[in-house]
Amino acid sequence: QKRGLTVQILEKTSKVMGCWNTIANSASHVAVTEATYRISLKLPYDSEYPHKSEVLNYGNDFFKSKNMDKFTEFGAEVKHIEDLDGSSPHSFKKKHGHCIVTYQKDSKTYKIRCKGVFIATGAQSVRREVSFPGEENFTGISGYGSNSSIDPKIFKNKNVCIIGGGAFSIENVKTALLYGANHVTLLHRSDLQVWPRVIHYMLSTEKNSKFLRYSELYNKVADWAGLSVGVGSNYDIAPFMHPDTRNQ
pLDDT of amino acid 247: 61
Q: What would the pLDDT profile of 172-202 be if each residue is shown by its tens digit?
A: 998 999 999 999 999 988 777 777 777 777 7
- Residue 231 CA to its chain's centroid (Å): 28
pLDDT of amino acid 92: 57
pLDDT of amino acid 129: 86
Interatomic CA distance for residues 153 and 27, integer angstroms: 12
- Residue 130 CA to its chain's centroid (Å): 21
Write the CB contacts of 87 (distance below 8 Å, at least 6 apart in sequence): 94, 97
Q: Are strands 77-84 and 98-105 parallel, antiparallel or unpaired?
A: antiparallel
User: Tell me, what amino acid is at 176?
Assistant: A
pLDDT of amino acid 125: 65
Interatomic CA distance for residues 146 and 175, integer angstroms: 12
Query: Whole-structure pTM over 0.85, yes or no?
Result: no
Interatomic CA distance for residues 103 and 69, integer angstroms: 18
pLDDT of amino acid 177: 93
Kindly tell me the burial class for residue 37, based on how many C-beta atoms sit within 10 Å of its own C-beta (0-12, 13-18, 19 or more): middle
β-bridge mates for residue 11, sequence order:
74
Q: Of the candidates 53, 4, 246, 28, which has an alpha carbon nearest to the alpha carbon of residue 149?
A: 28
Interatomic CA distance for residues 197 and 68, integer angstroms: 34
Which ranges of the chain have pLDDT less than 50?
none
pLDDT of amino acid 71: 94
